Each structure stands twice: as structure tokens, then as C-alpha cells.
Amino acid sequence: MSSIVPEALSKIKQLCVIGSGQMGIGIGLVAARYAKVQVQFIDNSQTQLETGIKFIGKCSLLDKDIAKERLTPLEKTEILNRFTTISDMKDIKSPDFVIEAVSENLNIKSSIFEQVSKLVPRECILASNTSSISITKLASFVPVPENFIGMHFMNPVPVMKLVEIIPGLQTSSETLNITKQFAQIMGKTVTVSVDSPGFIANRLLMPYINEAVIALQDGIASKEDIDTTMKLGTNVPMGPLTLADFIGLDTCLAIMNVLHSQLGDSKYRPAVLLQKYVDAGWLGKKSDFAKAYDKVSHKDNNTLNTICGAWWWLLKLVQRLFKKPKMTVRIGDQLLPNVPYKCGLRES
Ligand SMILES: NC(=O)c1ccc[n+]([C@@H]2O[C@H](COP(=O)([O-])OP(=O)(O)OC[C@H]3O[C@@H](n4cnc5c(N)ncnc54)[C@H](O)[C@@H]3O)[C@@H](O)[C@H]2O)c1
């Protein structure tokens, strides 16, 4: 904190957070609380905006801190009073800093930056919370790419200490310095990565999560055993499948697709099962389908296991009759017969 230059920080009074999903809300909360800036949330979903603001109001973290006398009820009210919401970007208040946290999709993000860069002052810094998309590429959609940067917060933002900062090729050193200072004022520790797919965190984390989904898909172990092995065996707070649910399977898939397409190595190919879950709308904890999915997965498991069992006995019979050598059988993602079909990352 001692290295912070007050002149640079005095530049940021008004922050705009685009996207009020799980990341945007967390970013807005730490900015309002620790950097004491006004925060304007923009989301094209009114429901998301309302849910996000309600979430902050009820945020148990703030109440816990009041109980521990780290925060007063008055300070909580002041934090809440720093928020405003809009669903139409044209109503944006002239911000000094914008952090975009919409879905991990180049087309959505580039179109947002094209629009917002026309509505903000020229000196405004534009940051993306992308998990994997090229900052240099995103910067090419704005008129002042020197003021564009990657600011990758971790989930959940109020709890996780790290912000990865990614300057693009065109990012100026002033933009990099102010962004570092802003993250530090929010109470975060900063690391810097060059602009490479997945940066540091997701270049390492996502192949690990993807491999866990492949292990599940190949019937190597149950989801409980995969998670327990990694949790107790490598001392991480949660297993990779629970972590995937927590991040959002759509986000995990989008990141794997970026790693695969940008780095071109087949080791980054997304698991077929991951794609299937996203196609089904089973995105993990943020998905409303979670409960239905648990039920469906149970039912499907039973049905599938019965079908798999029947196929197995039929094949055994054929093998015996014709005395053929042992066969390895695979239907879709599934090895038969002794591998129980498991199609849920979530607890069921
Ligand atoms: N989930 C994580 O663990 C995590 C961690 C670090 C970074 N990120 C990154 O943060 C970003 C957001 O992730 P998230 O988990 O908060 O996703 P999310 O699905 O929870 O939220 C995305 C939000 O963007 C909004 N949105 C979509 N299109 C929009 C548009 N055109 N205009 C305005 N709002 C729009 C949606 O309504 C939603 O509220 C992604 O780029 C993701 O890769 C996610």
C-alpha cells in the first residue's frame, strides 16, 4: 500500500461495472467498500441487476464484519449508497474507470467495448475481467487502446486476494500503474502476466479441471472420489469438479475453447461431457437448472445403467457363442459394463 501514488488514485471517483453476474457484483462491492468509489452497474438483464443489488444488501460478509466490529452499520449503509444501476448503456455516468465482467465471449465483449468507448471520456481506463480472451484483441475495438487493460479478479471476489493484471501490446505504462494501484486499494495482491491465452491462472487451472471432467467421463472414478482425492491428496480447499460448478461450466468451456483455438494443441480440447452439460444448460451453482439436473441425472443414470447392463450381457453371450477374444466396448462417452455411468458434476 505504501507504493500507492495518491495523484493517480485521485483520478478514479466513478467506476462503471458492466455485467452484474457473480464477478461483476463482487468487483463492485470491493471497489465501493475499499476504494470508496461510486459504482454504476450496467447489465442488459434487469433481473440480474436486481438480484445483484439484493445480494449485496444481504451480503453475509458485510454483516459478519459488522458482528466482528470491522465495519459499522453506518459504513454498510454508505457502501450500499454508492451503487446505482442502469440497463441502457446510453445512461452511463461519465466514469473514470470501466471494468467489464460480462459472459466469456469475444463477440459480446468486443461489441460492448465498441459501444462504451464512444460514451466515456477519452482518458477513461477500460478494463476487461476476461479469463482468457486476448487483451490485445479486445483493445483493437476501442479508439484509445493505450488505456485498455486486463484485470482478472478471482472468484469469489470479496474473499480471494489476487488480481492478475494483463497489459496488452498497446497498453501504456501509465494505465498499467494506475490499474495496479486501483487493485491494491481494493485490498488485492497483484501479479502481472503477458497477454497469452488463459494468462497465468487459467493456463494452469483449466486443463486440470478439464482433465477431471474427462476422468469422470471415462469412468475412472465417481465425482466424489475425484474431488476427495484432489482435496485431501493435494490439500486444495475443494475438488476440481466442485470448483468447476462454482466457476460456471459455461465459463470453463469458453476458456478451454480459447486455449484450444489459440494455442492449437489437442491437449486443450474441451471434454465432450463438459460441452454436453453446457448444451443442457447445466452450468453449475449459478444455474437455475441445478436441482432439476440432479433429478434428471439420477433418473438417466438408472436408465442408462440398465441399458448398458443389457448390452453387456448380450455382448458376453455373443462372445461366448463365437469364442471371440475379449472386446472393449464404448457407447458414447461410456466404457461398459463395469463402469457406472455418472453424469453429474454436482452432488446429487
Ligand atoms: N466465474 C468465475 O469464476 C470467473 C473468475 C474470473 C473471471 N471470470 C470472468 O468474468 C466474466 C463474467 O463471469 P461471471 O462468472 O460473472 O458470469 P455470469 O454469467 O455470472 O455473469 C455475466 C453477466 O453478464 C451479463 N451480460 C451478458 N451479456 C451482456 C450484454 N451484452 N450487456 C450487458 N450485460 C451482459 C449477464 O446478464 C450476466 O449478468 C467472464 O469473462 C468470466 O470469464 C469469471
Query: In the numeric block, which cell numbers belong to residue 76?
Result: 454498510
Question: Does a structural domain hold residue 344?
Answer: no
Question: Does a structural domain hold residue 4?
Answer: no
- In the prediction, which pLDDT does 310 show? 56
Nearest residue (CA) to ligand 1, atom 10: 101
Q: Residue 228 is part of a domain; what is its CATH number?
A: 1.10.1040.50
Nearest Cα residue to 102 out of 82, 130, 77, 83 = 130
Question: Does a structural domain hold residue 19?
Answer: yes
**91 confidence band (pLDDT: 50, 70, 90):** very high
- In the prediction, which pLDDT does 8 show? 57
pLDDT, mean of residues 198-205: 98
Query: Same domain, yes or no, for 174 and 276?
Result: no
- In the prediction, which pLDDT does 317 show? 62
A 10 A CB-CB count for 157 gives 22
Query: Same domain, yes or no, for 116 and 222?
Result: no
Report how far residue 34's alpha carbon sits from residue 184's, in angstroms, rounded to the nearest whole number: 9
Question: Does a structural domain hold residue 94?
Answer: yes
Query: Same domain, yes or no, for 164 and 218?
Result: no
- In the prediction, which pLDDT does 326 show? 40
Are 335 and 219 in contact by the 8 Å Cβ rule? The answer is yes
pLDDT tops 90 at residue 249:
yes
Question: Does a structural domain hold residue 177?
Answer: yes
Mean pLDDT of the chain: 85
pLDDT tens-place string over residues 54-66: 888 877 778 888 9
Question: Does a structural domain hold residue 327?
Answer: no
pLDDT tens-place string over residues 279-338: 999 999 877 544 333 433 434 444 444 444 455 556 556 655 655 444 333 333 443 333
Residue 259 DSSP class: H
Report how far residue 260's alpha carbon sits from residue 268's, in angstroms, rounded to the nearest whole number: 5
Are 345 and 284 in contact by the 8 Å Cβ rule? The answer is yes
**47 confidence band (pLDDT: 50, 70, 90):** very high
Burial class (CB in 10 A: 0-12, 13-18, 19+), 247: buried
Nearest Cα residue to 105 out of 179, 19, 30, 185 = 19
Query: Same domain, yes or no, for 270 and 141?
Result: no
Query: Same domain, yes or no, for 100 and 214?
Result: no
Residue 173 carries which side chain, given as an amino acid letter?
S
Of residues 14 and 339, more confidently modeled: 14
Q: Which of 235, 261, 280 is the last residue of a domain?
A: 280
- In the prediction, which pLDDT does 316 show? 56
pLDDT tens-place string over residues 210-220: 999 999 999 99
Which residues form ligand 1's pocket by a CB distance below 6 Å? 18-24, 42-45, 48, 101-104, 108, 112, 129-131, 152-153, 155, 247-248, 251, 286
pLDDT, mean of residues 118-134: 97
247 Cα nearest atom in ligand 1:
3
Report how far residue 254's alpha carbon sits from residue 260's, in angstroms, rounded to the nearest whole number: 10
> Rounded to the nearest 5 degrees, what angle is found at the Cα of 171, between the Cα atoms of 187 and 139?
100
Question: Does a structural domain hold residue 124?
Answer: yes
111 Cα nearest atom in ligand 1:
31
Query: Same domain, yes or no, for 90 and 226?
Result: no
Burial class (CB in 10 A: 0-12, 13-18, 19+), 140: middle
Are 9 and 183 in contact by the 8 Å Cβ rule? The answer is no
- In the prediction, which pLDDT does 61 show? 79
Query: Same domain, yes or no, for 48 and 102?
Result: yes
Report how far residue 327's alpha carbon sits from residue 332's, in angstroms, rounded to the nearest whole number: 16
Using DSSP's 3-state secondary structure scheme, residue 197 falls into coil
Could you tell me which residues come within 8 angstroms of residue 246 by beta carbon, excluding any fewer than 6 positions away? Answer: 155, 238, 284, 285
Enclosing domain of residue 208: 200-280
Report how far residue 15's alpha carbon sits from residue 27's, in angstroms, rounded to the nearest whole number: 10
Continuous H helices in the chain: 6-9, 22-30, 46-58, 60-67, 73-81, 106-117, 135-139, 173-185, 201-217, 223-234, 240-247, 249-263, 272-280, 290-322
Q: Which of 170, 192, 214 is the last residue of a domain?
A: 192
Domain count, the chain: 2
Question: For this structure, is 298 an active site residue?
Answer: no
pLDDT tens-place string over residues 166-197: 999 999 999 999 999 999 999 999 999 999 99
Q: Which of 164, 210, 287, 297 is catalytic?
A: 164
Report how far residue 26's alpha carbon sits from residue 20's, in angstroms, rounded to the nearest whole number: 9
Cα 25 to averaged position of ligand 1 atoms, centre (Å): 10
- In the prediction, which pLDDT does 315 show? 59
Question: Does a structural domain hold residue 311?
Answer: no
Cα 32 to averaged position of ligand 1 atoms, centre (Å): 19
Cα 338 to averaged position of ligand 1 atoms, centre (Å): 40
Q: Which of 231, 256, 280 is the last residue of a domain?
A: 280
Query: Same domain, yes or no, for 139 and 225?
Result: no
Q: Which of 96-105, 140-149, 280-289 has the lowest mean pLDDT?
A: 280-289
Residue 183 carries which side chain, given as an amino acid letter?
A
Query: Same domain, yes or no, for 214 and 188?
Result: no
Residue 324 carries which side chain, given as an amino acid letter?
K
Report how far residue 151's alpha carbon sits from residue 148's, in angstroms, rounded to the nearest whole number: 10
Q: Which of 117, 134, 152, 210 is catalytic?
A: 152
Of residues 61 and 247, more confidently modeled: 247
Question: For this structure, is 114 an active site residue?
Answer: no
Of 86, 103, 107, the one to substitute when testing ligand 1's pocket (max ligand atoms within 8 A of C-beta) is: 103
Q: Residue 179 is part of a domain; what is its CATH number?
A: 3.40.50.720
Using DSSP's 3-state secondary structure scheme, residue 249 falls into helix
Burial class (CB in 10 A: 0-12, 13-18, 19+), 323: exposed
Crossing angle of helices 272-280 and 249-263, in 10° steps, is 140
Query: 164 pairs with which residues across the strands?
Result: 152, 191
Query: Same domain, yes or no, for 144 and 41?
Result: yes
Percent of the chain with pLDDT over 70: 80
Nearest Cα residue to 131 out of 53, 197, 225, 67 = 197
Question: For this structure, is 10 an active site residue?
Answer: no
pLDDT tops 60 at residue 80:
yes
Query: Same domain, yes or no, for 186 and 214?
Result: no
Query: Same domain, yes or no, for 158 and 206?
Result: no
